[in-house]
Structure 1
Amino acid sequence: MRYRSLFIAVILVVFIGVGAIVSGLWQPTTHSPADIQQIKTTDIPEGMSRGKYIATMSDCTACHTTDESQPFAGGLAMPLPIGTLYSTNITPDKQTGIGNYSLADFKRVLRQGIRKDGSNLYPAMPYTEYTKLSDDDISALYDYFMHEVKPIKQENHESDIPAILAMRWPLSIWNWMFHTQGAYQENPDKSAEWNRGAYLVQGATHCGTCHTPRGIAMQPIAGDEQTKGFLSGADLGGWHAFNITSDDKHGLGSWSNQEIVQYLKTGSVAGKAQAAGTMGEAVEHSFQYMSDDDLNAIATYLRSVPAVSQEGPSRFTQGQAKPQDMAVRGVPLDKLTKDQQVQSLYMGNCAACHGADGGGSPDGYYPSLYHNSVVGSNKPNNLIQVILTGVHRKTQSADVMMPAFGRQLSDQNVADIVNFVTKNYGQKEAKVTPDEVKALRSQTEATP
């Protein structure tokens, strides 16, 4: 049924798009500002070339490296509703990589989402954001991949998307309807720092790929701060990418610039948030290596994005310390009530690090469960995922690790712990069922 529904949606998009194009009502959106208007990356951390820094802030390794001994050789499985895509080899190998790409070919990939052979890329590759890179930065990135990256001969893995849905020509219609091509255009009414932040958020760091909701055709509903919904939060790959607009209760409105920079560098701000999942990976592989000026520019821009408010109390201020040990201490296992059984489950699996009262460790290495933005959210997916898969985030300041409990806890156990933790320390309305845990577990196990 899901294939049928998606196929119908694609067909509708195609017919609407063709009709609009033929009638002249819809024209492709393109802007190509002159070089003098484009932003050039010049603040390069010591030890990096310009191209390597642009590749780092663009987090190319996230999708194109599955084995650290073979960087950028591709092969990452990306499950989609219609099947599984695999990232490609982008090393300069001439047979299996991009070694035969000219600068013009490379630029067309990033600007238009079109490969050397003329076929369209799926927008799982964020060319819709990379299009905003300046010509100069694209040239530096090309130079890095051609001259600094080691060529690796590794064949690309074909997708397992059904043939009827794997046709790429409808993507040209999708691009006509939803993709605005061209480098970022500076806003003359804003400061240089704000424009640099906008350039990074909308382009290289492609924050909107995860944090902006998508429409029926999987198109981002907004591409910048001028359109409502930009960075207002979205579900992706079993995780929830939170609202990062300037909203006080659910976004970054209550954060200082310094706290945003600290989070991007370390993945941790006590009493605010701890990075895990794909955000943890972005911190580990990309953000921590960015210059302080660039991180401050990102913070300045994010705090200016119009607030998108959501229902419910602030996700940052929920809960308070509440000891759990006294209720179960000395009680025989066969005498425990149902509530005490869940308390015992918490004490046996969570309290050693997060404390019997949920307060975490004094140094903040093990975060508090109250005043915790994940536990205080009405979106429980991230809490489920952290319990199932754990956390491993290595930065220059710390190597953070939480063990995965997916193998030792049943779906019922995980649901009980999530409901217990949110009820006692966070958003009391965020209830989950064992079936919801099972669905997320299946989705997680399907991703290597």
Structure 2
Amino acid sequence: MKITALSAVVFTSLAGGAIAQTADQDLIEQGKYIATMGDCAACHTQPRGAGKPYAGGYAIASPLGTIWSTNITPSREYGIGTYTEQDFSDAVRKGVLKDGTHLYPAMPYDAYAGITDADMKALYAYFMHGVDPVDEPPAQVTELPFPFNLRFSMAAWNLLYARGNPFTPDAVLNAQENRGKYIVDTLGHCASCHSPRGLLMGSVSGQYLRGGSVGPWYAPDITGDPVHGIGSWANEEIATYLKTGRAEGKAQAAGPMAEAVEHSFQHMADDDLEAIAAYLKTVNAPAASASPVTSRTDMGQPVDVEPGIRGLFPENAHDSLKTGAELYSGYCASCHQPNGAGSRNQAYPSLFHNSVTGAASATNLIATILYGVDREAGGDHVLMPHFNTGSYVAVLTDQEIADISNFVMETYGNPNAAKVTTADVQVVRNGGPVPFLARVQPHIPALMATGGVAAVIVLAGVILLVQRRRVA
């Protein structure tokens, strides 16, 4: 009997340990999925195998200077290995590290503030027990110019823009839509790109998901607005776009969105992608009685301009690349076809019925020409060469890009879009619009040296007061 009892105790103990180990592993796997939804690897891992997972060293271009991501592996010396779960939560939700250092909002802690306690626990378990420690610091550290290098100033910014609480369901939405809202607002941090930002780089009140600048790119309106947003898309098309980076006859992901598809969305469960689609369709959705409209993805038609430009320069072929139509024929038509219809399988997309060419602005068309498309999803590598410095095809001038852009918009897309100028191209080539804070930064030291610090403080106070009233 004693042997039997002892065996039973040992068996029970071993079984309990196995169950606990399974539970821990399940929590780690849950945390891994949450990290994927949060797109943590996109910023904390150098792309395409250039660095170790979550070891940092990725350059994040911001209007205020380059921000270098940190090591978030469980390394005790260089990473977060000494963090308690509360330390970890404070960093993710509040943007404050264990030593009190404030993070810049390039880390979207203002969105991550909404992560539920259960998901935060799983995320902590994954980073502590599911990620290999990398005992080396990133090669570069963030050094923004004065006064942006004063990280404690982020405490004031946080009071204005990062006062969120863990997500609570919206009573107006059903369970699927609430799941989508949770992903969109927290882990997906979609508003970080798709909402415009004001003078102090905080989201503009009342413009939720209405579109915003992201460096040289423009993150478009993704609300249920049928004209400017994605209200005319079927839910299945939205989910497919997130999964593959492509919605045939509507859009192709490029720039930061291509990175989000590659690192995050394509790895999400279909149920979660469908939940995102369901929720987005509820945002700014029109009344049921609203009249049918033409969306940006319905504009344009095939137009073949080749017959009008072929054979006009028999003596000097170089002179045949002068107008927008001729430049399009020489640099674009071999992939997008002379009539703009793209390839049969749409690997090279149509330029009509296209969200980029049907937009009110040619910003993303210019950015695509300058920076190309490079996206891996579902085993497919989509690549369009760029025509900027270092191109292996050709380097196009600002005037040539303006001419191509105007031709494409007028012929295949939105003919009412503002005409592209060389100045527009230069803005995109230089990294996008320069925000207010970056414009005033060079003048701040001089103002302080000449006693203008009081004026700066007053101006900052007025701006903060205005912003506070908007938030209230």
TM-score, length of structure 1 as denominator length: 0.82
CA distance in 2, matches of 1:76, 1:313: 41
- Deviation of the 1:398 alpha carbon: 2.7
Question: Hey, which of these two has a bigger chunk of helix by percent?
Answer: 2
- Deviation of the 1:397 alpha carbon: 5.4
CA distance in 1, matches of 2:297, 2:188: 25
Gaps of 5+ in 1: 1-45, 223-227
CA distance in 2, matches of 1:397, 1:316: 26
Q: Secondary structure at the match of 2:375?
A: strand
- Deviation of the 1:308 alpha carbon: 9.1
- Are the equivalent residues in 2 in contact too, given 1:232–1:308 (CA < 8 A)? no
Residue 441 in structure 1 maps to residue 429 in structure 2: yes
- Deviation of the 1:81 alpha carbon: 3.0
- Are the equivalent residues in 2 in contact too, given 1:89–1:96 (CA < 8 A)? yes
Q: Secondary structure at the match of 2:358?
A: coil
CA distance in 2, matches of 1:74, 1:114: 17
CA distance in 2, matches of 1:49, 1:351: 47
Residue 145 in structure 1 maps to residue 118 in structure 2: no
Instruction: Select which of 75, 96, 107 maps to 2:78.
Output: 96
- Deviation of the 1:155 alpha carbon: 2.1
Aligned residue number for residue 329 of structure 1 = 310
What one-letter code is carried by the residue in structure 1 that aligns with 2:303?
K
CA distance in 1, matches of 2:128, 2:207: 38
Instruction: Select which of 417, 424, 443 maps to 2:404.
Output: 417
CA distance in 2, matches of 1:261, 1:182: 28
CA distance in 2, matches of 1:389, 1:336: 25
Matches within 5 A, 1:264-343: 264-307=242-285, 314-332=295-313, 334=316, 341-343=323-325
CA distance in 2, matches of 1:329, 1:170: 61
Q: Secondary structure at the match of 2:147?
A: helix
- Deviation of the 1:436 alpha carbon: 2.6
- Are the equivalent residues in 2 in contact too, given 1:328–1:340 (CA < 8 A)? no
**Worse-superposed segment, 402-411 or 251-260:** 402-411
**Worse-superposed segment, 407-416 or 58-67:** 407-416
Provide Cα deviations, 1:47-98, integer angstroms capped at 9, x if missing partner: x811111011110011111152411111222233332221111111111111
CA distance in 1, matches of 2:196, 2:266: 26
**Worse-superposed segment, 382-391 or 197-206:** 382-391
- Deviation of the 1:190 alpha carbon: 2.6
- Are the equivalent residues in 2 in contact too, given 1:91–1:99 (CA < 8 A)? yes
Q: Secondary structure at the match of 1:282?
A: helix
Instruction: Select which of 190, 196, 199 maps to 1:216.
Output: 199
Gaps of 5+ in 2: 1-25, 288-292, 433-472
- Are the equivalent residues in 2 in contact too, given 1:328–1:336 (CA < 8 A)? no
Provide Cα deviations, 1:139-177, integer angstroms capped at 9, x if missing partner: 111111111111113324332312333112221122122
CA distance in 1, matches of 2:96, 2:143: 20
Provide Cα deviations, 1:240-260, integer angstroms capped at 9, x if missing partner: 000011100110110111111
Instruction: Select which of 32, 51, 74 maps to 1:52.
Output: 32
- Are the equivalent residues in 2 in contact too, given 1:327–1:340 (CA < 8 A)? no
Paired positions, count: 391
CA distance in 2, matches of 1:188, 1:112: 26
CA distance in 2, matches of 1:78, 1:394: 20
Question: RMSD over aligned Cα, in angstroms?
Answer: 2.3
- Are the equivalent residues in 2 in contact too, given 1:134–1:184 (CA < 8 A)? yes
Q: Secondary structure at the match of 2:157?
A: helix
Aligned residue number for residue 95 of structure 2 = 113
